[in-house]
Structure 1
Amino acid sequence: MPTSKFFQLFLILLFSALTFLSYQNEKRNLDTKNASLLKQYAEIINKENQWQGSGESLYQQLQPAVGFQFFQYIDSNDSGNNFTRGTLQTNNTSPLSQLFITDLADTRSLLAGRLQVKLSNKSALSQTITRFEYHLMIIWSSFLLISFIYFLFTARQKSSIKYIANKIEDLGNLSFDAIEHSKIKREYNVVIQSLENSQQTLKAKLNELQAVNEQLTKTAFQDPITGFGTRARFTEKLEQICRPQHKEVGVLFIIKATELGAINQMVGREGGDDYLARIANEIRAAFKSKPQTLCFRISTADFAIVLPDANLKQGVAIASVLSTTFSEYQQQVGTASIAHIGLVPYLQDSDPVSLMTLADTAVSIAQTLGPNSYHLQEELTGDELFGESRWKVAITELLRRRSIKFYVQAIRPCRNDVESYKELLTRFYNSEGKVFPTTTVIAMAERHGMSGEIDKLVILNAIRLLIESPKITGLIGINISAASASNRTFVSWMKNILQQQRHIAARLIFEVNESGMQTNLSATYHFINELHSVGSRVSIERFGHGFTSFKFFKEVRPDFIKLDHSYTQGISTDPQNRFFVKMIIDIARKLGIRVIATGVEKQEDKIIMEQLLIDGLQGYYIAKPTPLIQGEKSEAMA
């Protein structure tokens, strides 16, 4: 039962008890007066016990001393003396008189007759009822007053409780308005203090969760390296600008960071991240005057820029600025290029697939135009693979003209008994003498089934150069594709060429990517045996991506393995990495295989690798790529 109802019930019981006690007291007083009246009557009538005569005379004689409500005298001998006055039925106007009903009747025999009376206590009864009514008024007025005061008190309490309850509900709705203390009774100060503390704690927790959520959202939809939107954001924007009801027009840029793979290999992932961040900063600077521009990183090395409410002339002007800044950056870092730019217009109700195909075509063509070039593609020519087809033409022309140059990067041996070599790095040029992005050339050659022709060009030119340049001494490493190394026809061609130049073949070390060679162990084993038969050696590069690597180099027995640069970077802070590298070195030494660390860019990494007894070191900290033919301008490596 609620406290308020319990208290009301208690009040009713209490004041009902007071009423009953008052009634009992008045009833007792009235009974005392009635008894006294009967006693007084008895004393008087006892004196008249020998009465004989008229009943009326007897009535007149007793009336002054005792009041009668009813008087009846019945004479035993003479009916003429009979006398009756009043009624037995009490006539009271007050309803409370029923609570004080008393029997003041008396019947007795006299000498000559019988007397029956009922005494009248009207005065005493009236006084008793008056006092009892007064007491009732006092008692129940007090009850009403207390009830009213309690009602006001509980009403105020309910108001405070309702206000507190609303504040608690506000917490559920994450509303933290200040608490109005004027609406709260003092006895709830402890609750209010607790509520305010809860508000502050919950608000702090909410702010913390919002910060975490913002960070998660930033992670999910904002690229951490560049600060640009992610591919998911770009997809949303692409769908938006291609909707039929969307009336926006503008220019879409696709910027391909073509040197990311090479930079990652040369200076590690940190250097690659710096490279991407620098490109992002250059993009921001170029589009600074267009605050409505939206920038996205849509893949590892690709950026998409949406420039709304702009025409192609404005887009070309910005692309030209970007091309210039990229060229300046290229001079600072010494790479073959920085990035290539494709730009296309977009209109209302564009098709997303067609728009992206057009943009990919534009950037593919830009790559064939030289370092940091841009290309505007206004519409498709009917051949969606125009960009790739252009690459096929470009590679065919490159093969025809033999437009390649060689750079070398030295590998430093860590001990006197270790024979090391220089890695030959190939650069490709277009008909205008501008450098192609090497990674793109190789990728496009593989896509069009022309990687074997590229590898033949590299091998023949390298052999010719070594024959014609006797000043170039020592071992030379040549990169060839895994597809060529796995092709028996190509391997037979290599063997025939090398047999004709065994003195040159003995100086050549052919480098092949591990991931490509693991797919066909039989072909790999054949490739290595054939090269060993003519005196050449084999190096497996980017080694250690999988645990199958141990089984791989144990079975095929290459002459060198070049650890993937990810093992070098951070080795000073990663004990597990050091343990894994040490294990590779120990196993390789037992098998007579030399281990070379790549991507060495810091002194601490060099020192640790030397402590692990690595056989050789390669990286920008050791030596940068330089032209193979002295006197040629050193542009960079790809």
Structure 2
Amino acid sequence: MAGTTRFFLLQIFFFISSFTIGTYLFVSNLQSLASLQQLQTQKAVDYHLKNTSLNVDAETLSTQLIITFNLNRLIIKDLDGNILDSEPGRTSLPALADLIHNSTPLIRPQYVVNNDSNLKLEFTINLTNEIEYAQTQFYVFVFFIITLSFVPFISVKTIIKRAQESIGNNMSLLVDSFIEKNDKNSQLDTSIAKQSVSAIFPSIVRLNTYLKRKQQEIENSALSIKQQAFKDSVTELGNRNLFVEYYEQNIENTEVNQFGTLAMVRCSELQLINQTRGFHHGDEYIKEVAQLLLKAAGTYAGATCYRLNSSDFAVLLPNIPIKESERFGQDLQAKFTEYQRGVELSSVANTGIVSYSSTKPLGELLSQVDTALSLAQSKQVNAWHVQKESDLMDNVSANFGNQNWRTVIDDVLNNSRVQLLIQTIMPTNRSARVYSEILARFKTAEDQILPTASFLAMAEKLDQIFHVDKMIVEAALNSIKTLNLAGQFFGINITARSAHDEQFLIWLERRLLKDSNISSKLIFEISEFGLQQNVKASKRFIDMIHRVGARITVERFGVGLTSFKFFRDLKPDFIKMDASYTRGLEEDKNNQYFMRLIVDLAHRIGVTVLAEGVESQEEKHIVEQLCLDGAQGYYIEKPREI
């Protein structure tokens, strides 16, 4: 094979060398031919001009010269430069010669001056026939060297191919015999090797040993890769893929009927922690919940835990009846409540519990446990709920989770069960004008704090979000008025769905005009993603806010990668950088460069830039260095009662 490659490279070298030399000679020949013909024609034209009668007009002279000397182009002028007659070029060079002519001109304009006849001639000669003949010879030469270069190679390839086929047949015979003997665990007959390719027979034996070792390594590697593909990187638990595979192989598709309990645990505060404290704290929160689940499930034989997505965990408790699973729910709630006290959260997680069996498909089971989880979320903090089979028999009860949420939301709205907290945004320079953000927390009739993210999500799902936003605005205005805080600036969060609703817009405008002295101190926060959903409605909302004297903050900026033309058209007053840009800012030079660019562009259009999720002294220092106007986060100030 190496010899074939060398032979092929030599043939390529021969072709390139021959082609290069032939091309050089061809170009040189064309240049010599053109130079000689042009010199001869120039002398002949000069001689003809000296012996031509002075009475011949320019047009007749032009015709004579073109016909006599086979000129391609001719211009006749008098000595003052006036054109007496001209004949444009009639023919063009062949393609290859024209390509050469464009790089190194072959045919150049020639000049003849005759003072006696007061004439000056400029012409080019016609060498089309001569060049076509030379070009044809060059093509023949190229064909010849191609033949000499590649025909031998094709012949050699044919010979080698036949030799390889012969060797391959002998190899196949030897390998088949070797496999047959190995399958029978008998000694290989060496006479077969001698008849075929005895020189490589020992190599075949070594190859067999090597392949067996490699097969074992590949199997081990595939097992390791499968384990990595089925493992969650944060908690080291199995992921959703492993959960589905385990359920299908060990429960759903087994001959022996399996039964047990499935618990789904949803981390209620993950989104809030990611937004306010940073993703690092969110990961730590998830790890702690995972450890609590492992401790609670560790007392049950064969229990397995999985992380299904960012906020949901699944726990399978084999052979545990639904009645006994209540103890598991109580144990989890106790562990979550104890953890909650140490980390200052409004809640940790909720748990939905259902029974499973081999006859129940996984899709149906997940739908039932989601309903149980919805019921648990509508109860007290860190609550759990067991969805029994008797509850599932009635089709009407399938949506009981949503109905229970509706009851809870109606109770919150009817009794204004909302608690307001504030978190100050610290200005980073003396000229910056910032504000304190008002945060809403919702309570049950038992004075338990509901998970904020779950409450707002269910309120939007059940078309109650407009009333929730109205309640928050009313509560904020009343608190500011009651506590005589009209001299301070406050931010209030508004959902995009409310901001884009015309009826809500009308109500909000009338309500703000009613307390115009307070309205001028309010800043309404709405997410960048929400504004993008309906730009026209967003502009209408922002125009109304500015009309009543209030201002606008675009929060979670940078997630949607919205263009600054979008903000120039909407004219917000503040943008609040998403917490993901603040996390680890002191070490991430790319984030620093991006935030500095945002600050420069925002300041050019008169927009104040704030940072949220500032959790350390280093992050605060970098925010100040990057010239942001304000910083918000647990390092600056934790939420407190208004």
TM-score normalised by the shorter chain: which range applies? 0.5 to 0.7
Q: 1:300 aligns with which of 310, 319, 328?
A: 310
> Partners in 2 of 1:460 and 1:625 — Cα distance?
20
> Partners in 2 of 1:409 and 1:502 — Cα distance?
24
- Does the C-alpha gap of structure 1 residues 491 and 377 become closer, same or farther in structure 2, counting only changes over 3 Å? same
Alpha-carbon distance, 1:217 to partner: 2.8
- Give yes or no for the alignment of 1:268 onto 2:278: yes
- For the residue of structure 2 that corresponds to 1:420, the secondary structure is coil
TM-score (norm 1): 0.67
Alpha-carbon distance, 1:218 to partner: 3.7
> Partners in 2 of 1:238 and 1:175 — Cα distance?
32
CA contact (8 A) 2:238 2:307 kept: yes
- For the residue of structure 1 that corresponds to 2:490, the secondary structure is strand
- Give yes or no for the alignment of 1:498 onto 2:512: yes
Q: Counterpart in 1 of 2:234? A: 225
Pairing of 1:333-352 with structure 2 (within 5 A)? 333-352=343-362
CA contact (8 A) 1:411 1:422 kept: yes
CA contact (8 A) 1:568 1:597 kept: yes
- For the residue of structure 2 that corresponds to 1:620, the secondary structure is coil
> Partners in 2 of 1:577 and 1:276 — Cα distance?
25
AA partner of residue 439 (structure 1): A
Alpha-carbon distance, 1:163 to partner: 5.6
Larger Rg: 1
CA contact (8 A) 2:270 2:282 kept: yes
RMSD: 2.4
AA partner of residue 279 (structure 2): R
CA contact (8 A) 1:595 1:616 kept: yes
> Partners in 2 of 1:453 and 1:164 — Cα distance?
81
Alpha-carbon distance, 1:314 to partner: 3.0
Pairing of 1:398-477 with structure 2 (within 5 A)? 398-470=412-484, 474-477=488-491
Alpha-carbon distance, 1:332 to partner: 1.0
CA contact (8 A) 2:301 2:318 kept: no
Q: 1:530 aligns with which of 540, 544, 555?
A: 544
- Does the C-alpha gap of structure 1 residues 459 and 175 become closer, same or farther in structure 2, counting only changes over 3 Å? closer
Alpha-carbon distance, 1:242 to partner: 3.1
- For the residue of structure 2 that corresponds to 1:385, the secondary structure is helix
Q: Counterpart in 1 of 2:72? A: none
CA contact (8 A) 1:245 1:349 kept: no
Q: Counterpart in 2 of 1:10? A: none
Alpha-carbon distance, 1:284 to partner: 0.6
AA partner of residue 435 (structure 2): Y
- Does the C-alpha gap of structure 1 residues 483 and 210 become closer, same or farther in structure 2, counting only changes over 3 Å? same
CA contact (8 A) 1:243 1:350 kept: no
Q: Counterpart in 1 of 2:74? A: none
> Partners in 2 of 1:276 and 1:436 — Cα distance?
19
- For the residue of structure 2 that corresponds to 1:226, the secondary structure is coil
Q: Counterpart in 2 of 1:382? A: 395
- Give yes or no for the alignment of 1:624 onto 2:604: no
> Partners in 2 of 1:210 and 1:562 — Cα distance?
49
TM-score (norm 2): 0.66
Deviations, residues 104-153 of structure 1 (Å, cap 9, x unaligned)? xxxxxxxxxxxxxxxxxxxxxxxxxxxxxxxxxxxxxxxxxxxxxxx99x
Alpha-carbon distance, 1:236 to partner: 2.0
AA partner of residue 597 (structure 2): M
Q: 2:497 aligns with which of 475, 483, 499?
A: 483
> Partners in 1 of 2:437 and 2:299 — Cα distance?
45
> Partners in 2 of 1:538 and 1:528 — Cα distance?
7
Deviations, residues 6-63 of structure 1 (Å, cap 9, x unaligned)? xxxxxxxxxxxxxxxxxxxxxxxxxxxxxxxxxxxxxxxxxxxxxxxxxxxxxxxxxx
How many residue pairs match? The answer is 446
> Partners in 2 of 1:444 and 1:614 — Cα distance?
35
- For the residue of structure 2 that corresponds to 1:174, the secondary structure is helix
> Partners in 2 of 1:551 and 1:533 — Cα distance?
22
- Does the C-alpha gap of structure 1 residues 246 and 535 become closer, same or farther in structure 2, counting only changes over 3 Å? farther
Pairing of 1:507-526 with structure 2 (within 5 A)? 507-526=521-540
Q: 2:208 aligns with which of 163, 169, 177?
A: 169
Q: Counterpart in 2 of 1:354? A: 364
Q: 1:280 aligns with which of 271, 286, 290?
A: 290
- Does the C-alpha gap of structure 1 residues 433 and 549 become closer, same or farther in structure 2, counting only changes over 3 Å? farther
Alpha-carbon distance, 1:573 to partner: 2.1
> Partners in 2 of 1:333 and 1:175 — Cα distance?
51
> Partners in 2 of 1:483 and 1:344 — Cα distance?
34
Pairing of 1:97-176 with structure 2 (within 5 A)? 165-174=204-213
AA partner of residue 351 (structure 2): I
> Partners in 1 of 2:565 and 2:345 — Cα distance?
36
> Partners in 1 of 2:563 and 2:327 — Cα distance?
50
- For the residue of structure 1 that corresponds to 2:324, the secondary structure is helix
- Does the C-alpha gap of structure 1 residues 175 and 410 become closer, same or farther in structure 2, counting only changes over 3 Å? closer
CA contact (8 A) 2:297 2:304 kept: no
User: Which is further off, 388-397 or 434-443?
Assistant: 388-397
Alpha-carbon distance, 1:215 to partner: 5.6
> Partners in 2 of 1:455 and 1:175 — Cα distance?
64
CA contact (8 A) 1:402 1:457 kept: yes
Alpha-carbon distance, 1:546 to partner: 3.1
Pairing of 1:293-332 with structure 2 (within 5 A)? 293-332=303-342
Deviations, residues 371-430 of structure 1 (Å, cap 9, x unaligned)? 111111112142322212211221112111111101111100001111111111100111
Q: 1:248 aligns with which of 250, 254, 258?
A: 258
> Partners in 1 of 2:205 and 2:332 — Cα distance?
59
> Partners in 1 of 2:293 and 2:631 — Cα distance?
36
CA contact (8 A) 2:486 2:521 kept: no
Alpha-carbon distance, 1:518 to partner: 1.1
Gaps of 5+ in 2: 1-189
CA contact (8 A) 2:273 2:282 kept: yes
Alpha-carbon distance, 1:313 to partner: 3.5
Identity of aligned residues (%): 35
AA partner of residue 172 (structure 1): L
> Partners in 2 of 1:401 and 1:369 — Cα distance?
17
CA contact (8 A) 1:543 1:549 kept: no
Q: Counterpart in 2 of 1:94? A: none
> Partners in 1 of 2:583 and 2:284 — Cα distance?
15
CA contact (8 A) 2:527 2:555 kept: yes
Alpha-carbon distance, 1:239 to partner: 2.9
Pairing of 1:184-223 with structure 2 (within 5 A)? 206=217, 210=220, 213=222, 216-223=225-232
CA contact (8 A) 1:231 1:297 kept: yes
Alpha-carbon distance, 1:542 to partner: 0.2
Alpha-carbon distance, 1:243 to partner: 3.8
- Does the C-alpha gap of structure 1 residues 532 and 246 become closer, same or farther in structure 2, counting only changes over 3 Å? farther
Deviations, residues 250-286 of structure 1 (Å, cap 9, x unaligned)? 0000000011000111211111111111000001111
AA partner of residue 329 (structure 1): Y
> Partners in 1 of 2:429 and 2:552 — Cα distance?
20
User: Which is further off, 162-171 or 424-433?
Assistant: 162-171
Alpha-carbon distance, 1:161 to partner: 7.2
- Give yes or no for the alignment of 1:552 onto 2:566: yes
Deviations, residues 174-231 of structure 1 (Å, cap 9, x unaligned)? 269xxxxxxxxxxxxxxxxxxxxxxxxxx9xx48x956x5664344211011111111
> Partners in 2 of 1:415 and 1:581 — Cα distance?
17
Q: Counterpart in 2 of 1:236? A: 245
Q: Counterpart in 2 of 1:73? A: none
Pairing of 1:77-96 with structure 2 (within 5 A)? none
CA contact (8 A) 1:477 1:509 kept: yes
CA contact (8 A) 1:463 1:504 kept: yes
Deviations, residues 469-493 of structure 1 (Å, cap 9, x unaligned)? 1157511111110011111221111
